[in-house]
Structure 1
Amino acid sequence: LTATQEGNYNGTEGISALPFNGIILAHSNESEWVTFRNNKNNEAFLDRVYIVKVPYCLRISEEIKIYEKLLNHSELTHAPCAPGTLETLSRFSILSRLKEPENSSIYSKMRVYDGESLKDTDP
């Protein structure tokens, strides 16, 4: 809080105040955010908070690209990977983020979110 108000940050290790001209980014899951928000000691912070909700990826094709990017920029870039592994992992991840629909299957919902047309195949 001092950094944003006074424009400096008091370092550790016996270092004097460091100049600060920036923003502070943080992330949290919903339950931790609610706990933080409901704590009266955090009122000064809450006046300075801007919430940006970032949704989960719900497309299999995009999830595969995320995993490919992570693998290509890691030490596993040349490691063998069985065919269909990333697609299976992506499907599993997407299914864990979806709620079961009342009038269809969760698998159909996943396919529709990925851009497939299920006309004539799913009620």
Structure 2
Amino acid sequence: MTRSIQERSAFQDRRLRIELLRLQAGYQRLAVRQSACRLAGAVRPDVLAAQAGDHLRAAGLGWLGVGLRLLRRYPLMGSLLGSVLGTGSRRRVALKTALITGLVWLARRASADSPKP
């Protein structure tokens, strides 16, 4: 009789341990799922770009971040930069184009800044 009580008690203990392990595994799966969601939110391009900009400013290279932002905003500047760094004939054309564009931009800016009569 005592043996059957001990067997029942051991069986119940084993079932209790199994249920506790299942519960623990469920919590661990939930924690992994939440971590994956946080990671997916942190890996968005805009978040990564903002973090890179913060690191560049902290390192004293804020001008590099500004340049990268300008290249993203004005893709023509990237093309122009590629031409300048390219072959000699393309470099001359790119520099002339940049000069003319810069002069036009300065003229427009000066006319916009001048007071109207």
With structure 2 as the length reference, what TM-score do the two structures score? 0.22
- Structure possessing the higher relative contact order (Cα contacts under 8 Å, 6 or more residues apart): 1
Structure whose alpha-carbon radius of gyration is higher: 2
With structure 1 as the length reference, what TM-score do the two structures score? 0.21
Higher helix share: 2
